[in-house]
Amino acid sequence: MYLLTTARGHGEKPLASTMSPPPAIIPTAAEGAARIILVHGTGHGGWCWYRVATLLRAAGHRVDAPDLAASGADARRLRDAPTFEDYTRPLLDLLQALPDGERAVLVGHSFGGMSVALAAEAFPDKVAAAVFVTAFLPDCTNPRSHVIEKLTLTDWMDSVTDAEHDPPSVFLGPEFLREKLYQLSPPEDYTLSQSLARVSSHYVADLRGQPPFSEARYGAVRKVYVVCDQDQAMLEPYQRAMIAGCPVAEVRAIAGADHMAMFSALAELAGHLADVANTYA
C-alpha cells in the first residue's frame, strides 16, 4: 500500500515535471519495518522534522525525532553539553532503550550525520541502517573532525561565532539561513526557524581529539546517502567527495532540494526514508 501526497510544499520554486512528478508515493510500513529516528543538525531541533514525521506516521511508520542536548525544546544551555558525546546523549539514550532485538534506521541531517555516526559506533547492533541527508559522513581513517574541517564554507554571512568560550559556538544568522539553507524551502518553514533556532557547536576540537570511527562498528553499519543538489552550504561536489571516502550501500539523489530537504523536497525525502525502513529492516 502507498500513501499519496503532493510532492512539494507551498512557496517552492517550480521544478520541471520530469524531475519530480506529482503525486509522490510514500510506501506504507511493511510488517517488521524498522523504527525511524530523525536527527537534526546545527542550531535546529527535532521540530525541523515535523512535516516528514507527519507523513511517515500517516503511512504507518514508527518515528522519533529527539532534541539533542541544548537543542530544540531541550532545557539545557550549550555550556551544559561541553562535549560532543554530551550533545548526542539524548540519541544514545533513545537507541540504548530500544527493546532487545529491535533496530532503528538512523537519519542524520547536516551535522546530525556526526551524531548518527557516534550512535552507530556505540550501538552497531541496534542500527538497521544509517541515512545521511546532505550530512557530514565521517570515514574510518581520519580524525572524526576531518569532514567538518575540510568543508570550505568561508562565508557565514550574518552568523555569529564565539571561540572564546567552551565549547565554541555558532548561531546561524537569518540571512545565512535564507540564502544558504532555506532558499528553496517554503517561507513559513524559514519563518519557523527564526523562532526556534538556537546557539550550537560543531565540537571540532573535541572530535579532533577522538580516534577515528572503527571499521568493526560504525564502518560495518549499512549506510545510505541522500544527495541534495541545490544545497548552498554543503555543495554537491563535497557531498560526493565524502561518499567517495566512505563506502555506502546506496546513493540516492533528490533533484531540486536545498539543504533543508525535509522542507524543500518533503515527499521525496519521506518516500526515500520509508523505503529504507522497509528495505533494511
Query: Catalytic positions, please?
Result: 110, 231, 259
CB 45 within 8 A of CB 74: yes
Picking from 57, 40, 59, 36, the residue whose alpha carbon sits closest to that of residue 49 is 40
Query: Would the CA dihedral through 10, 16, 21, 27 be positive or negative?
Result: negative
Grouping H, G, I as helix, E, B as strand and the rest as coil, residue 28 is coil
What CA–CA distance (Å, rounded) separates 7 from 194? 25
CB 1 within 8 A of CB 58: no
Grouping H, G, I as helix, E, B as strand and the rest as coil, residue 261 is helix
Contacts of 48 (CB under 8 A, 6+ apart): 40, 41, 109, 193, 260, 262, 263
What CA–CA distance (Å, rounded) separates 42 from 156? 13
Picking from 129, 123, 114, the residue whose alpha carbon sits closest to that of residue 40 is 114
Contacts of 101 (CB under 8 A, 6+ apart): none
What CA–CA distance (Å, rounded) separates 273 from 99? 22
Q: Which cell goes with 48?
A: 525541523
